[in-house]
Structure 1
Amino acid sequence: MNIIDYPDADMMAIDVAAKIAGELTEALHLGERVLFAVPGGTTPGPLFDDLCGVDLDWSRVDVVPTDERWVPEDHPRSNARLIKERLLVNRAAKARFLPLFTPAHAPTEVLPELESMIAPELPIAVALLGMGADMHTASLFPGAAELEAALDPHAPILVPVTQPGTGEQRISVSARVLDEALSKHILITGAAKRDALREATNLPVAQAPVRAVLTGATIHWAE
């Protein structure tokens, strides 16, 4: 694995933001629009704070969450809320946001509608991913009933997922689409996640779904 160690999370955020800005700029030289996939959670927040002020043509950047809880965008647990508050501000306010939530009783009712906005912009130019201590990435959870379908090499763009243990409904970009990103960065912090990542390399992908996106990815780690 290509792992870059940082002395602290602030330095990691600054460095990865610079790398991603360079990759987005390069991708914009090659195409009219580029797709940037980003996670929710607390870890990417400082990186978003650094990236949102970068001088690039954000009006040609489409931003899509790697996954989303099935809640409205004003909900405290919404990934879209974090992304809009921390990334899609300053210069990055000109980017176009592609949501993974639209009002409906269940994700399956609107998957075609959501996929129709993403499909024309694929492949993902840059994917920023996280990893949980259970070795999940996006909403690809070990033990989820829908995991096999989400890991299928012929999976659709989006898959509905029920989080094990909580029953929370989510929607996730499939492993296939995430892995096909032209550039992949995985952000992790803390010794426990570093150990989990090391363990993941020796486990089947069903037990460690992050393995599905590790090939060619750059891992960024800080204590």
Structure 2
Amino acid sequence: MNLIEYADSELMMMDLAHIVAGEINRKLMHSERASLALPGGTTPGPVMDALSATSLDWERVDVMLTDERWVPEDDPRSNARLLRERLLVDKAAKANFIPFWSDAGAPEECVPVAADKVRAAMPLTLVLLGMGEDMHTASLFPGAENLDTALSPNAPPLLALHPPGVPEARVTLTARVINDAMNKHLVIIGDAKREALEKARASGDGHVAPVAAVMRDLTVHWAKE
């Protein structure tokens, strides 16, 4: 794990957007397509804003989420809604978005279709992760049903999980897909998350601290505030 500390979060977001764009552009210089997975939540919003205005050959970029709540895209809790409002506008509107949610049924029934699309984009060019103070990343939550499967090296690309204490099912990239990515980054803000990260690193147990399962070759971007 490589840790980069920043003076403030605004500087961090600008630098991170530049890094993401650079790694995507380098892949496009040598390959027909590149792929990018981004987290939901409020933290990565400024990165999405900066990327949306960046000049890339977006038509050759497959964009997906690291995880999604099983809610329609017009729901305020939808990560896809955030992505469409913050990233898939301006120049990045030409990117190919791979949604996870479907109104065709329960997540377990719909995930295989999206999983095939994720599989076709693997290995992902870049995965940007977030992390909670409970040490979850993507929707790999401690105590979630199917967490063993999600952490397995033989896991499918996508998996439906039912984390304890949350109102809806989640669909998440599995640890195998994250670890197989060409570039892995984690963005966190604040002392509490820094402490959680260090606790996860000391534990090394992906079942207790799921983020520990994806720390190999991970670049962490942290700002105090």
**What do residues 110-146 of structure 1 show as CA deviations (whole Å, max 9, x unaligned)?**
1221112222111100100000000000000001121
Q: TM-score, normalised by structure 1?
A: 0.98
Q: Does 1:20 align with 2:20?
A: yes
Q: Does 1:206 align with 2:207?
A: yes
- Specify the alignment match of 2:65 in structure 1: 65
Amino acid of the structure 1 residue aligned with 2:28 = L
Structure 2 runs not aligned, ≥5 long: none
**How far 1:167 moved relative to its partner?**
4.5
**How far 1:165 moved relative to its partner?**
1.3
- Specify the alignment match of 1:52 in structure 2: 52
Aligned-partner Cα distance in 1 for 2:144–2:119 = 25
Q: Does 1:125 align with 2:131?
A: no
- Specify the alignment match of 2:8 in structure 1: 8
Other structure's SS at 2:141 match: coil
**Aligned pair count?**
223
Aligned-partner Cα distance in 1 for 2:44–2:111 = 26
Q: Does 1:215 align with 2:216?
A: yes
- Specify the alignment match of 1:95 in structure 2: 95
Aligned-partner Cα distance in 1 for 2:168–2:116 = 24
Other structure's SS at 1:138 match: coil
Amino acid of the structure 2 residue aligned with 1:97 = F
Other structure's SS at 2:220 match: strand
Amino acid of the structure 1 residue aligned with 2:211 = V
Aligned-partner Cα distance in 2 for 1:116–1:153 = 17
**How far 1:192 moved relative to its partner?**
0.1
1:133-212 residue pairs with structure 2 within 5 A? 133-203=133-203, 204-212=205-213
Segment of structure 1 superposing worse, 164-173 or 23-32: 164-173
**What do residues 65-115 of structure 1 show as CA deviations (whole Å, max 9, x unaligned)?**
000000011110000000110011111111010001111331111122111
Other structure's SS at 1:68 match: strand
Amino acid of the structure 2 residue aligned with 1:60 = R
Task: List structure 1 runs of 4+ shifted beyond 4 angstroms.
Answer: none
Q: TM-score, normalised by structure 2?
A: 0.97
Aligned-partner Cα distance in 2 for 1:18–1:163 = 33
- Name the % identity: 52
Aligned-partner Cα distance in 1 for 2:183–2:217 = 8
**What do residues 185-208 of structure 1 show as CA deviations (whole Å, max 9, x unaligned)?**
100001000000000012211101
